[in-house]
Amino acid sequence: MFWRRRPSEPDRPDGDAAVPDAGPAAEVEEPSPAPDDVQPPAGPVTQRDEVQPSGQAAAPGAGAARDGDGLSAGVERSRGGFVARLKGLLGRGDPDAATWEAVEETLIGGDVGATLALEVVERARRRREAGGPVAAVRAELTALLVDRDPGWVPHRAGPESPAVILVVGVNGTGKTTTIGKLAARYRAEGQTVLLAAGDTFRAAAIEQLRTWGDRAGAQVVAHAPGADPSAVVYDAVDAAVARRVDVLIADTAGRLHTKSNLMDELAKMRRVIDRRLPGAQPEVLFVLDATTGQNGLAQAKAFHASTGLTGIILTKLDSTAKGGIVFAIEQALGVPVRFVGVGEKVGDLLPFDPEAFVGALFG
C-alpha cells in the first residue's frame, strides 16, 4: 500500500476514514512536481491507461426519466422544513411586521443567509404579488438565481476536442461520487468518457474512481499514489485527444480552501489544461455539500478566486432541510448550479433547472 503524509496534507473532517491502511509515512518519496511550463512529466508513468474498451453499453439508471420525481424527492426535507414554515407564517392573511420578521428568521434558518433574507423580505413586502405573500417570497427567491442557458453542455473547442471538466471542493463533499454519476449520465447519452484520477493523495481515491469508471463504462487514466496531480491531468488530456473521447472529467483531492499551497496546486492543474488544450475552456465545477451551511460560501469564494469556477454542483440536497443555500451560493458567486446530488446512487444527480427547483420546493 502506497501512502504518505505530506506536509501540506489537507485536514480531513472525517478523521481517519480517508486514510486507508497508512503505512510508514517515509516509505514513499515526494514526487517531483510536474513542470509548470507543461513539459511531459518526467520519469516513468505507472498505472496509467487503465482502459476499459470503448463503446460499452450505456450505464443503467442514469437517464433523465426520473429527473422530475428525483428533484421533488430530493428537496422533500427542505419543502417540509423552512418552506413549510414560510407557508405557515404567510398563509394566514395579511402578514404584520412581526410575521415578516419571523419570515426573515425562517429564511436565515433555511440557509438563505442573513443579508439576503433581509433583502428578500423587504422586496417581498413591497411586491404586493397577486398570489399573495407566499408567491411574493417565492418570486423574490427565484429572482436571486442567475440566468443560464437551459441547453447548457460542457464547452468543447471543436467536434474533435473533448469537453474538459475539473471537479474541485473541500474534503468529502461528494466529488468522486458525483464524477461517477456524471460519467454514467454522459455515457447514457452515448458519449465516451475518460476519467483522470487527479486525487493522487491516497490509493483508495484512485480505486474509488476506478470502481466508478467500471460502473459507468468510462476509461480511467491514473498514476501511482503520490504522483503530481498536474501530471495526471497532463496525460489525461493527451489521452482524451488521442482517443477522441467526448468528455474528460478530472477528480481532485479534497482540500481546505484556506490552504493556499493546495489552492495553488488546483490553479496549476487548470493551467495545464489551458496550455495543453488551448481553447478548451474547461468547466471548473465546485462540489458543495448542501449540509455545510453558510461556510460553504467562504469555500466557494476561495475556490472561485484560485481556479475560476464555471459551475456548482450541490450535493446531499436530500440530507438537508436547508435548501436555501442554492439561492445564497448563486447570488454570492454569480455562477450557476449545474447539477444537484439527491442521493448516493448513480442516478441521483439531476440537472439543475431553477423553475423546477423552486416549483419542487414550494410544490
Ligand X SMILES: Nc1nc2c(ncn2[C@@H]2O[C@H](COP(=O)(O)OP(=O)(O)OP(=O)(O)O)[C@@H](O)[C@H]2O)c(=O)[nH]1
Hey, which residues between 236 and 265 contact ligand X (CB under 6 A)? 254
Are 285 and 338 spatial neighbours (Cβ–Cβ below 8 Å)?
Answer: yes
Show the cell assigned to 324: 436555501
Residue number, 61 or 172, with CB nearest to ligand X? 172
Residue 109: CB minimum distance to Mg ion, A: 30
Strand positions, DSSP E, 73-199? 163-168, 193-196
Show the cell assigned to 237: 488530456
The H helix count followed by the E strand count for the chain is 13, 8
Residue number, 36 or 344, with CB nearest to ligand X? 344
18 binds, options ligand X, Mg ion, none, Cβ within 5 to 8 A by partner type: ligand X
Hey, which residues between 153 and 182 contact Mg ion (CB under 5 A)? 175-176
Hey, which residues between 319 and 348 contact ligand X (CB under 6 A)? 319, 341-344, 348
The distance from CA 100 to its chain's CA centroid, rounded to whole angstroms, is 34
Per-position x/- string for 196-235, each x denoting binding to ligand X as judged by CB under 6 A, each - no binding: ---x-----x------------------------------
List % helix, strand, coil for the chain (3-state, nearest 5): 45, 10, 45
Residue 50's DSSP bridge partners are 220
Hey, which residues between 282 and 321 contact ligand X (CB under 6 A)? 315-316, 318-319
Residue 73: CB minimum distance to ligand X, A: 11
191 binds, options ligand X, Mg ion, none, Cβ within 5 to 8 A by partner type: none
Antiparallel, parallel or unpaired: β 283-289 and 163-168? parallel
| SS3 state of residue 23 | coil
> Backbone phi, then psi, for 250, in 5-degree steps?
-105, 125
Per-position x/- string for 112-151, each x denoting binding to ligand X as judged by CB under 6 A, each - no binding: ----------------------------------------
Q: Report which of 83, 105, 111, 59 is spatially closest to residue 288, judged by C-alpha positions.
A: 111
Residue number, 161 or 173, with CB nearest to ligand X? 173
| Residues lying near ligand X in the complex (CB under 6 A) | 18, 169, 171-177, 199, 205, 254, 315-316, 318-319, 341-344, 348
| Residues lying near Mg ion in the complex (CB under 5 A) | 175-176
